[in-house]
Amino acid sequence: MTIRVAIQHKTTYEFDRFINVSPHILRLRPAPHSRTHIHGYSLKVKPEDHFINWQQDPFGNYQARLVFPEKMNKLEFEVEVIADMTVINPFDFFIESYAENFPFEYDEVLLEELAPYLKTSEDCKELEAWLATVERKEKQIVNFLVDLNSRLAQEIAYGIRLEPGIQTCQETLNLKKGSCRDTSWLLVQILRHLGLAARFASGYLVQLTSDVKALDGPSGPEEDFTDLHAWCEVYLPGAGWIGLDPTSGLFAGEGHIPLACTAEPISAAPITGFTDKCECKFSYTNVVTRIHEDPRVTKPYTDDEWQNIKALGHAVDARLIESDVRLTMGGEPTFVSIDDMDSDQWNTEALGADKLRLAKDLLLRMKAKFGANGLLHYGQGKWYPGEEVPRWALGCFWRTDGETLWHNPDLLARVDKQYGHTETHAEQFGLALCKQLGLTDNYLQPTYEDTLYYLWVERNLPEGANPKKATLKDDLERRRLAKLLTRGMEKPTGY
């Protein structure tokens, strides 16, 4: 499921008179290593009388060099980026075994190649005091970085700062406040002092409003948002460059689109150049627009889209009837719990107690809407290869002429609820059923569990496994198996 957006960024300089403008360097094109897929990019420059050369800097970032032969009183850069906001798991990477825990040392080759990113250019007592509080005991490297990044986000308040340049680490630590570029540069220096290669990243940050409000915690921005942003990247052997955003305390994801990643912040400035001395009025805009959205669980088709789909379906049906093509179709409703979508029963496990309860709730709601006079049936569903037990099949059957199949819904039991019925109750029900059908008791036959089969299942459990806790997915089946393994074939299990 993808949301495709257009990022439109315009920067304008209006001068009080016609002046000479030096060659400018623009770093406003997504970097080659951007993990967010870029569908399109365009750059418009005014005045149109200019020369442009696309280059790559020593760090591999795209940059445009612009030369202006004539004087001007207005300079404008307009960028559009088309990007897919496909969710990226920021922890989806592997790490070389020797670097899995902090602290570690880079191998000789990497140490030489990463030299510019290990250079510590700032040192002060405030930074030394902060570093002294960092625990140096062996710790899993990802956990170490998560703690370090979130701590900085909590200790350094965020503030918008329009002044050029970057605060020193001393200033940021004393003020306990800084812009995104200030906090990111502080994190770069902290990582380098700890022996980890780090670089400064400048780019676009895109934050889209959520389809639904969060059940716990903040829901994010109220409106779609984008702006120029800065963060930090650390080099982990095996994983490569990993983005850390100390402003939010999060790892960089699909919303972080890098424009330039460099050893020093000055080399990552979005626009560099100078002009004759003058008065200048500066303005900029950043707008993000959704240009395509795939339907999804949290934001399905709109009513208009459904009408178009239905109209297309009717047209297809008419063509099929005209050509005497006869089709049948079957299917089941599929759903995922909105407040427990990460648990195993909604991902890898076939069954689950909560899944059964919600399925029954959905079945009753659908029965009330489509087949109020119908009959409910609980039976065995699909049994896929590799799954220990079959899935459930919850069905509702009704007559199209409206004739009632079941009159008293209070007599319908819930499949997810235990009512305490025993073999005795089953026998009583069977005898009553035979009587109602006019059959003799001889037609009621006891049945037994296949105890030998379950003993064989027990023999195939891993050594030391408790058969009472065998890894069958269904809790009811697990309890039934444990009961069988302890009682043998003493009596019938049901009728």
Q: Can you say how many angstroms the Cα of residue 25 is from the centroid of all Cα atoms in its chain?
A: 35
Minimum mean pLDDT range among 244-248, 316-320, 401-405? 401-405
Among 70-79, 260-269, 370-379, the minimum mean pLDDT is found in 370-379
User: What would the two tokens of residue 88 be?
Assistant: 């990226």
* φ/ψ (deg, to 5) at 446: -70, 150
Which residues are CB-neighbours of 330 under 8 A, at least 6 positions away? none
Mean pLDDT of the chain: 88
pLDDT of amino acid 333:
63
Structure tokens at 396: 């509702």
Q: What is the pLDDT of residue 347?
A: 81
Residues in a beta bridge with 217:
none
For residue 76, what is the enclosing H or E element?
A: strand 72-84
153 three-class SS: helix
Q: CA nearest 189: which of 163, 164, 171?
A: 171
- How far, in Å, CA of 378 to CA of 392, rounded? 7
pLDDT at 455: 80
pLDDT value of residue 12: 97
Distances (CA, A) of 12 to 45, 165, 238, 285: 10, 19, 42, 9
Q: Whole-angstrom Cα distance, residue 258 to residue 27?
A: 10
Residues 251-304 pLDDT 10s: 999 999 999 999 999 999 999 999 999 999 999 999 999 999 888 878 888 888
How many whole angstroms separate alpha carbon 53 and alpha carbon 87? 34
| Model confidence, pTM | 0.67
- Least confident range from 73-87, 128-142, 245-259, 325-339: namely 325-339
- pLDDT-based confidence at residue 72 (cuts at 50, 70, 90): very high
- pLDDT tens column, 398-408: 888 888 888 88
- Lookup: tokens for 30: 């997504």
CA distance 476 to 454: 15
Angle CA 256–257–260, to nearest 5: 115
Q: Give the residue from 91, 44, 265, 82 showing the smallest Cα distance to 168.
A: 265
The 10s digit of each residue's pLDDT in 181-233 is: 999 999 999 999 999 999 999 999 999 998 888 776 677 788 999 999 999 99
Per-residue model confidence as pLDDT tens digits over 89-108: 999 999 999 999 999 999 99
| Segment 144-177, tens digit of pLDDT | 999 999 999 999 999 888 788 899 999 999 999 9
Nearest to 478 by CA among 492, 467, 463: 467
